Structure 1
Amino acid sequence: MSQGSNFVDYVKICCRSGKGGAGSAHLHRDKRTAMGGPDGGDGGRGGHIILRGNTQFWTLLHLKYRKHIIAEDGLPGSSSLSSGKFGKDEVLDVPLGTIAKDAETGEVLFEITEEGETKILTPGGRGGLGNYHFKTPTLQTPRFAQPGEPGIERWMILELKVLADVGLVGFPNAGKSTLLSVLSAAKPEIADYPFTTLVPNLGIVSYRGGKSFVMADIPGIIEGASKGKGLGYRFLRHIERNSVLLFMVPADTNRTITQEYEILKTELQQYNPELMQKPHLLAVTKADMLDEELIAEMKKELPANIPSIFISSVAQKGLTELKDMLWQAIDA
C-alpha cells in the first residue's frame, strides 16, 4: 500500500459558499383582496462547504485538481409566505486526521478525526427575511424585505497528518523502508542513499491472532529538521499522530548508538515536547553484520530506560520479537 507520488498531504483550495436568497416584499392579492397584507417568504440559505471524515480515503489526492469549490446560492422567497430553496451544500470527503486552516492567517480551524464527522468549512449566507416579518401595528404593509447575506470566498489549506500506530524515526538510510517492506505489503522505494523516502509510506503489519497495526515510515530526520532544515517540518508533522515511536539506528553508525538516539530525541523534543510522552522503542538495524560477542558488548552501551532490540530486515532476524514489542507498546 505504498502511497508513492499519490500521497498528497497538503492541498490549497478556494472555497466559495452560496449566497443567501433575498426575502420577498410581496403583498397579498386575490380575487377578493386588492390590497392585502405582506406575505413575502424568506430567502433560502446559501450552500455550505462541508468536510466529512471518510475512512475510505488515505490521501488528499482527489482534491489536488479541484482548485475551486463552489456551493449553490439560495433561492429568493416568494408570495404566500413561501421560503426560497436552500442552496445545495458541497460536501468534501477527507481522510481522518485532516486539518483545515485559513490560508491567509494560518489559523487552524478544526480537525476531522472520526468516520462520518462533518464540519462546516465555509458557511453559506443566510437568506433574507420576507416583508411579513416587518409588519407592525403602525406599518401594516411594509414594501421592503431583507436581501440575502453574501457567501464567503476564501482560500483554505487542508493538511493530513498520517494516522499510524507506529512511526519509524531515524536518520536517512537507517533501514526504515527496508523494515517496512519486509514487515508489511508496502513497497517503498529503497535505495542506498539518504532521502529516498520523500513521502511517508504506510504499511499494514499483520500480527498473530488476525490482528494488525499501521506502520508509517517517516522520511529521515536530519539534525536541524526541527528548525525547518532539509525536509523539516512537513514530515515531522506526521509523527505527531503516531502512538508509538520506533527509533532506528544502524549498527554501522559513525557515532555510538546512544549518541545517535539522543540526537534524534533532541530533534523531536525541539519540534514538539509532547512527542516525548509517547512510548519509545529502539531497534539497532543491520545486525546481520554483528556476531553474538559484538552484540553483547554493544548491549552494555545502549541507552538505559528504553526497550531495545537488535534486528536485521535482510536476514529476517529479530523481527517476530520486534512485532511482539511493538504490539505490547500499542496495546498498552
Structure 2
Amino acid sequence: MKFVDEATIEVVAGKGGNGVASFRREKFIPKGGPDGGDGGRGGSIYAVADRNINTLIDYRYARLHRARQGEYGSGSDRFGAAGEDMFLRVPVGTMVFDAETDELLFDLAYHGQQVTLAQGGLGGMGNLHFKSSTNRAPRQFTLGDPGEQKKLRLELKVLADVGLLGLPNAGKSTLISQVSNARPKIADYPFTTLHPNLGVVRTDTQRSFVIADIPGLIEGASEGAGLGHQFLRHLARTRVLLHLVDVAPPDPTADPVADARAIVEELRLYDETLYNKPRWLVLNKLDMVEDPEAMQKKFCEEYGWTGPVFTISALAGLGTRELVFALQDWLDAQRKIEHEVEEAAIAAGHAPALAAALSSGSAVGLGNQAYDMSKAQAEDDEDDEEGDDAR
C-alpha cells in the first residue's frame, strides 16, 4: 500500500431542513390552527481515530465530503428527519489543521477519539412555534441554517516510543527487522525505505515498546536533497532517538564522525525541539571492525559524545539484545516519572502545568536520571554478586 501522510480535504456539513407553514384541515374541525413542523438538523461530519488504519491515502483522492441535509417539516405537527452524520476514519496520530490559517484544530492521539470537523445546521421552525393569543393564524416559518464548511489539512505523525535516525544504508531497516515484528524492504542501495515503518518490540509478556524507522536523512535535506524533511515529523512523538552510525561504510573515503555531525545538524535545522530530544548513539557493523571497544572509544572522543552509546551488528544480531533491554528500562522509568508528575499535577490542581512540563522536557530529564540510577544500581548488584562468588 502506498504510504500517504498528508492530505487536504473539504468538509461540508448538511443544511438544516426548512420549517413549514401549515394549518390543520380535517372534517368537522374548522379552523384547526397551525400545525407546521420543524425541519430536521443537517448531518455533521466527525473524524474518528482508528488504529486499524495506517495511512491517509483514502483522503488523497476523495477530497470533498458532504453530509446529507435535514428533511423539511410538514403538516400535522410532523418534524423533518435529521440528516445522516458522516464519520471519517483516520489513523491514530492524525493532526487536523485549518488549511487557510494553518491553525491546529485537533490532535487524534488515541484509538476511538472522536472530534467534530463540521457541525450540521439547525432545522428551521414551523409556524407551530409562532402561534399566540394575538396571532392565532401565523404564517411565519424559518429556514434551516447552513452547515459548516471548512477546508482542512490532515497530517499524520506516527506514534512510537523509539525513533531511528541515520544516513541511508546505516542499517536502520535491518535493526528494526531484527528486534521487532516489522518486515521492511532491505537492499544494498540508498533510500530503500521510502515510507515510515513501525514495529513492536516485546521484551516480556507485559513489557513492550514501539519503534519507528523513517527514510534516511542526508546532508542538505533542509534544502530539499534526498527525501528532504518530509518524514522527520514522524519522530516528533517519540520519547528517545537512536542515532545509527555505520562505522564501516562501503566508501573508504567516508568519515563516519563527519556524517554523524551532519545528520544532527540537519535535525537541528528542522526542529529545535526534536534536536533536544534524548538521543542515544548506536554504532553499527561491529562485526566488520577488528577491535569494537577501541573503535567505540575513538569515535566518541572524536565526536565529543558523552551520552549513552551502544555497539551492535544489526545484521548478525550482536549487541541488539542489550540495546533493547536498556531501551525498555529507560522507557519504563520515563513512564513512571510521567505518571508521578501527572498524579501530582492533578492532585495540586495544576493540570495545565503538566502539559508544559512534559513539552519542556523536564520529565524526560527525570527519566534519563532514573535510567542512569537504575543502570548504576544494576552494576553495583553485579559487582556484589561477583564479590560473593570470589569469597
Alignment of 1:255 onto 2:255: yes
Q: Which amino acid aligns with 2:263?
A: L
The higher relative CO (CA closer than 8 Å, separation ≥ 6) is in 1
Contact 1:164/1:216 (8 A) holds in 2 = yes
Q: Note the C-alpha offset of 1:210.
A: 4.7
- Structure 1 letter corresponding to 2:305: A
TM-score of the pair, normalised by structure 1:
0.88
Deviations 1:42-92 (A, max 9, x none): 211111111111222222344455344332211112234332111010112
Q: Does 1:315 align with 2:311?
A: no
Equivalent residues of 2:248, 2:289 under 8 A apart: no
Q: Secondary structure at the match of 2:313?
A: coil
- What is the identity, as a one-letter code, of the residue corresponding to 2:16? G
Is residue 116 of structure 2 the alignment partner of residue 120 of structure 1?
Answer: yes
Match of 1:129 in 2: 125
1: distance between equivalents of 2:130 and 2:304? 76
Q: Which amino acid aligns with 1:297?
A: K
Report the alpha carbon displacement of residue 217 of structure 1 after superposing the two structures with TM. Answer: 0.7
Whole-angstrom distance in 2 between the partners of 1:78 and 1:32: 21
1:144 and 2:143 correspond: no
Residue 166 of structure 1 is matched in structure 2 by: 162
Residues 148-199 of structure 1: CA deviation (Å, up to 9, x unaligned): 1233444433221111111101122211111112222322122222222110
Q: Which moved more, 1:8-17 or 1:80-89?
A: 8-17
Deviation at 1:142, TM superposition (A): 2.2
Q: TM-score, normalised by structure 2?
A: 0.76
- 8 Å CA contact 1:244–1:329 kept in 2: the answer is no
Query: CA offset at residue 145 of structure 1?
Result: 0.9
What is the rounded CA distance, in whole Å, between the counterparts of 2:202 and 2:3 in structure 1?
A: 22
Q: Which residue of structure 2 lines up, in the alignment, with residue 266 of structure 1? A: 265
Residue equivalent to 1:28: 24
Deviation larger for 297-306 or 170-179: 297-306
Read off the aligned partner of 2:255 and give its amino acid letter. R
Q: Check if 1:175 corresponds to 2:175.
A: no
2:299 paired residue number: 298
Determine the structure 2 residue equivalent to 1:242.
238
> What percent of counterpart residues are identical?
46
Deviation string, structure 1 residues 226-259 (Cα, Å, up to 9, x no partner): 45543223211111122211111111363353x4
CA distance in 2, matches of 1:175, 1:38: 77
Structure 1 residue 209, shift from structure 2 partner: 4.0
Aligned residue identity for 2:267: L
Unaligned runs of 5+ in 2: 335-391
Q: Detail structure 1 runs of 4+ shifted over 6 Å in the superposition.
A: none
Give the aligned residue type for 1:243.
R
1:128 is paired with a residue of what secondary structure?
coil
Runs of 5+ consecutive residues of structure 1 not aligned to the other structure: none
What is the alpha-carbon distance in structure 1 between the residues aligned to residue 269 and residue 303 of structure 2? 23
- For the aligned residues, what is the CA RMSD? 2.4
CA distance in 1 between partners of 2:307 and 2:90 (Å): 36
Tell me: CA distance 1:56–1:85, structure 2 relative to 1, closer, same or farther (3 Å): same
- Equivalenced residue count is 327
Q: Which residue of 2 aligns with 1:17?
A: 13
**Aligned mates of 1:269, 1:252 — CA distance in 2:** 25
1:56 corresponds to: 52
Match of 1:190, as an amino acid?
I
Q: Amino acid of the residue matched to residue 12 of structure 1?
A: T
CA gap 1:234/1:142 in 2 versus in 1, 3 angstroms:
farther
| 1:116 partner letter | G
**Which moved further from structure 2: 149-158 or 245-254?**
149-158
- Residue of structure 2 in register with 1:221 after alignment: 217
Structure 2 distance, partners of 1:226, 1:97, is 24
2:283 paired residue number: 284
Q: Check conservation: 1:279, 1:329, Cα contact below 8 A.
A: no
Greater share of residues in helix = 2
Deviations 1:256-282 (A, max 9, x none): 53x444332332222222224432111
Q: Secondary structure at the match of 1:179?
A: helix
| 1:101 alignment partner, SS class | strand
Cα separation, 1, equivalents of 2:20 and 2:136: 16
3-state secondary structure, aligned to 2:231: helix
